[in-house]
Structure 1
Amino acid sequence: MNIRKIKKSLMADKQKLAIAAVIIVVALVLGASTNYDQQTTHNNAKITATNLNRQLQNTWSKVDTDGITNAQIAVYDKKTSKVYTYTHGSKNSYPTASIIKVFILTYKMSLGELTNDDKDLATQMIEESDNEVTTEMVTSFGGIYQFPKLFNKLRMTHSNVNQTWGLTQTTATDQLKLLNELFYNHKILSQSDSNYIANLMSHVDDNQNWGVSSGVADDTMIQLKNGWLPLDDNYQNAIVNSIGHVQDDNVDYTIAVLSNGDSTQDDGIDYVSALSQATYKALSR
């Protein structure tokens, strides 16, 4: 065999081996880099969630509780995909007051398309917080004892009906399950049906501009529903709640703030609003 051909063949084989070795090294380096980046991102997410929880707990605990007997707050932060909670007092569940109206409309829409009359009722129920039309809507689908059907679908395991719809018992974390269905998940209602409810919640009457909407930036999108119910004369021993969704360039979260046994309705409104404002400030940093 020709010696020159043998040498050329050997040199070609060496070049191929060298190229293959380089490719393997590069692949290993890139793979290691990717794994490192993924692990770093994962660890950073954990660190962020842990730090955020610590920061929120510290912030919430500093809000003045004068005149407030029991309160709960729960927040789902889309950035970290985590739920953060805080409780003042010892109560486990809370009467909903008018925040139940979002649940009622969600249940009604889960049964099928709204009629024009239904839409009129829905507008008055959410935007104006009208109690009479709420009773009419509840009656239209068979009454309060239909509520557990949606409780079960949403796994709202700590919510229970009461003979009076406004005294239905719930927790802040259960309310997040409803809100997250409307603003993120869309498993029970379609995106368009969820948007319909969100639009109503973004046009509540001006006298309901408290709670979730407190202290946010001017360009922030807010969907909210408030509930308030003084159990004694002179607006004392009050239930004051606020639920909703807050989104702008810096934040995207759902929030539920519940309080019960407030000395006065104004005390409850001030406290719920202060918690909401503190939450926005912490999450927008």
Structure 2
Amino acid sequence: MDLSVAVYDLADGREAAYGEDRTYACASVAKLVILAALLLRARDAGRWLSADEERLAAAMIERSDNDAATVLRAAAGGVAALDATAARLGMVRTSAAPAWGLTRTTAGDQLTLLKAVFRPDAGTGPDQVTGTGTGTGTGTENGSRPGPGLDARSRRFLAGLMGRVVPGQDWGVSAAGDDWALKNGWLPRTASGRWLVHSVGRVDGCLIAVLSEGHASLESGIARVETAAVSAVRRMRRSV
């Protein structure tokens, strides 16, 4: 069984990792970069997501709907858009695949993506789209050009969906605390019959990515991921 962990303390910027450069297939964790790609594409066009895009995004993150992910990846620009988004956000070891669930990533890159969503100083420049309704493309503020990162509205939207994952999919890093926002991924591997199980998100002031594969069952994978998450957050807190 292979397992990698990367954790970041939002309060003081301390970071710790184990096996953070080992690559894994993303499974449904890829849905975070799909949504990031869609949000960046909309931002670059000076608009917000349409009502239909918002609906599909909620289904993709909250319920891990695979059909929604396929539609939204196409809307974001396909494989090339995922690679461009990874590069834009600094995910240097993430590589998109034609089957989005087979996109390769690392715990370190997943932590980089989480920082782009949850760190207070993430993003560059002012919000490029304003307003609170759906489909309110108002262009850029003061004629400014979109910066490379997710703007504040995009970060709030993505984080909000991660905080509303449906019961039954709210396992993983949530074991480490009560205040969480997450996305999980799970996939049985055809060749080995073993399971790939991931969990990434924010929990009680820490960002954490736990990626793993080689589990005999989904249940044993979830248990191992949760143990790793709890241990990583506890060690981070004890090191203060």
TM-score range, shorter chain: 0.7 to 0.9
CA RMSD of aligned residues (A): 1.9
Letter in 2 for 1:70: D
**What are the superposed Cα offsets for residues 98-148 of structure 1, whole Å, 9 maximum, x if unpaired?**
011111111101112100000010010000000011001111122122211
Check if 1:99 corresponds to 2:29: yes
Check if 1:245 corresponds to 2:188: no
Check if 1:223 corresponds to 2:181: yes
Query: Residues 22-171 of structure 1 correspond to what in structure 2 (within 5 A)?
Result: 69-87=1-19, 92-112=22-42, 113-171=48-106
Cross-structure match for 1:265: 218
Letter in 2 for 1:190: D
> In structure 1, which of residues 183, 186, 194 is the aligned counterpart of residue 123 of structure 2?
186
Shift of 1:243: 0.3
TM-score with structure 2 length normalisation?
0.81
Letter in 2 for 1:72: S
Letter in 1 for 2:102: L
Shift of 1:257: 0.4
Letter in 2 for 1:221: D
Task: Point out the more displaced range, 237-246 or 150-159.
Answer: 150-159
Shift of 1:79: 3.3
**What are the superposed Cα offsets for residues 145-171 of structure 1, whole Å, 9 maximum, x if unpaired?**
221111111121111111210010000
Q: Give 5+ residue unaligned stretches, structure 1.
A: 1-68
Shift of 1:83: 2.1
TM-score with structure 1 length normalisation?
0.69
More helix by percentage: 1
Rounded Cα–Cα distance in structure 1 between residues aligned with 2:163 and 2:175: 14
Task: Point out the more displaced range, 184-193 or 222-231.
Answer: 184-193
Rounded Cα–Cα distance in structure 1 between residues aligned with 2:76 and 2:41: 9
Cross-structure match for 2:141: none
**What are the superposed Cα offsets for residues 42-87 of structure 1, whole Å, 9 maximum, x if unpaired?**
xxxxxxxxxxxxxxxxxxxxxxxxxxx1110001112341321113
Letter in 2 for 1:202: G
Q: Give 5+ residue unaligned stretches, structure 2.
A: 43-47, 125-148
Rounded Cα–Cα distance in structure 1 between residues aligned with 2:154 and 2:229: 27
Contact 2:110 2:209 in 1 (8 A): yes
Shift of 1:208: 1.1
Cross-structure match for 2:130: none
Rounded Cα–Cα distance in structure 2 between residues aligned with 1:152 and 1:105: 15
Contact 2:33 2:86 in 1 (8 A): no
Contact 1:229 1:240 in 2 (8 A): yes
Contact 1:232 1:238 in 2 (8 A): no
For the residue of structure 1 that corresponds to 2:216, the secondary structure is: strand
Rounded Cα–Cα distance in structure 2 between residues aligned with 1:86 and 1:222: 22
Contact 1:246 1:253 in 2 (8 A): yes
Rounded Cα–Cα distance in structure 2 between residues aligned with 1:260 and 1:144: 24
**What are the superposed Cα offsets for residues 221-268 of structure 1, whole Å, 9 maximum, x if unpaired?**
2110000011249x9411100000123xxxx21110000222222221
Larger Rg: 1
Query: Residues 207-218 of structure 1 correspond to what in structure 2 (within 5 A)?
Result: 207-216=168-177
Question: Between Structure 1 and Structure 2, how many residues are aligned?
Answer: 207
Cross-structure match for 2:235: 282
